[in-house]
Amino acid sequence: MAKIDFGGTLETVVTRKEFSIAKARKVLKNETIAIVGYGVQGPAQALNLRDNGFKVIIGQAREFQRDWDRAVQDGWVPGKTLFDIPEAVKRGTIIQMLVSDAAQRVIWPVVKKHLKPGDALYFSHGFSIVYKDQTGVIPPRNVDVIMVAPKGSGLNVRRNFLSGAGINSSYAVEQDYTGRAEQRCLAVGIGIGSGYLFPTTFAHEVTSDLTGERGILMGALAGVMEAQYDVLRKNGHSPSEAFNETVEELTQSLIRLVDERGMDWMYANCSATAQRGALDWKPRFKKAVMPVFKELYARVKSGKECARVLSACGARNYQKLLQAELNEIGNSEMWQAGKAVRALRPKQAAKALSKSTKGVGGRQSN
C-alpha cells in the first residue's frame, strides 16, 4: 500500500503495482465469482474479470429477458456460466450483488437462503447494508461482507478497462468472517480493472455517492445547464449558440483541461476575460448552492433519500414513469440541439466512442 499526499492529507491507496493482477489471481484461484444481475455494473465487472482470467458465472432472473439475452450475446452459456439467481449463489463463493438497490431488497431472501459459510457477499454500493432497517438486507455472521465501488458507471468501467486506463474505486470491509476479507476484496477490485483503490466505509461510501449523484455529478450539473441554456434562449441566442456555450465547450474542451492538470491550470489557459469572470463568479455560485448541498447531505444521512429510492424505484409502473421523465429531458429543445451538435462532430470521434461502448449494457432493469 502506498501513502499519497492528497492536498496536505496523507492517504493510503492500493495500486496495481502493490497488488498485481498475478497476486489477485493467486488470492482468488479457488474462488467462483457469481455476478448477480446483468444490467449496469454487472456486464462491465463480469467481462473485465473474465478477461483477466478469473472464474466467473452470472446469476440473472430469467423474467428480465433483455438482460438474459445480453448475457448470452456476451458469451455466457446457459447451464455452464449463466444461471438463475439461486443456482448462481449456490455455485459461487464470492457473490456480487449488482442488481439495483431497490431490487436487492426483493431478491435478498433468495440470496440469503443459498449463502454458504465462508462465502463473501460483495457490493458496489453501501446502500443495502447502511440502510438495512429499510432494506432488510442483514447478512448472516458466517460470511465476509465486502465492497468495491468503482467511481463511474458500468459503461466507463468497461471502456476504461479496454483502454488500459482503469477506473478508480473505493473499497471497504464490513464483516471479516474468514480472516481473508480484505485480500478477497482487493483482489476483486484489481480484477475488475481498478486504476487504484482507496479505503472507505460502507457508510461513508453511500453518503458521498448519493450526495455526488444528486449533486455535482448529475443533478446539479443538469440543473445548472438547463438554467444557463434557458437564460440564453430567452435573451435571443440560437439553440446552437446556447448549447455550445453551455455544454459543448465544457465537455469537449474545458473539462478535459481540468482532467489533465486541475481547475487552476484550466483557468490559467483560458482568456484573461474568461479567467477574471470565472474567479469573480465562483464564490457567488458557491454561496448560492451551499444551502442546497447541506440539505442534500442531511437527507442522505438521515435515510430520507433511501426511502425515496425504495418507494419510487420499487413501484410496479416505475419503468414507465422513468421513461416519461427521461423522454422529457431527451425531447427538450436543449438536448435535441445537442443531438444536432453531436452529429456535426468529426466522424472519427464518433467511431471511437461507438467502438468503446460496444457490448456494454444500459440501465439496470431488475
Q: Are 334 and 237 in contact (CB under 8 A)?
A: no
- Annotated catalytic residue 237: no
- Whether residue 366 is contained in a domain is answered as no
The CATH number of the domain holding residue 332 is 1.10.1040.10
Kindly report the average pLDDT of the chain as a whole number. Answer: 92
Q: Which residue of the set 114, 125, 204, 237 is catalytic?
A: 125
End position of a domain, from candidates 178, 200, 222: 200
Q: Is 143 exposed, middle or buried (0-12, 13-18, 19+ CB in 10 A)?
A: buried
If pLDDT is split at 50, 70 and 90, which confidence band does 10 have?
confident
* Sequence letter at residue 285: F
Q: Which domain, by its residues, includes 68?
A: 2-200
pTM for the structure as a whole: 0.87
Indicate whether 184 and 228 sit together in one domain: no
Same domain? 127 vs 271: no
Pair 35, 46: CB distance under 8 Å: yes
- Write out the three cell numbers for 201: 466505509
Rounded distance, CA 35 to CA 356, Å?
22
For the stretch 260-311, pLDDT in tens is 999 999 999 999 999 999 999 999 999 999 999 999 999 999 999 999 999 9
- 191, 258: one domain: no
pLDDT tens digits, one per residue of 165-224: 889 999 999 999 999 999 999 999 999 999 899 999 999 999 999 999 999 999 999 999
Q: Which of 179, 200, 221 is the last residue of a domain?
A: 200
Count the domains in the chain. 2
Report whether pLDDT(1) > 80: no
Indicate whether 86 belongs to any domain.
yes
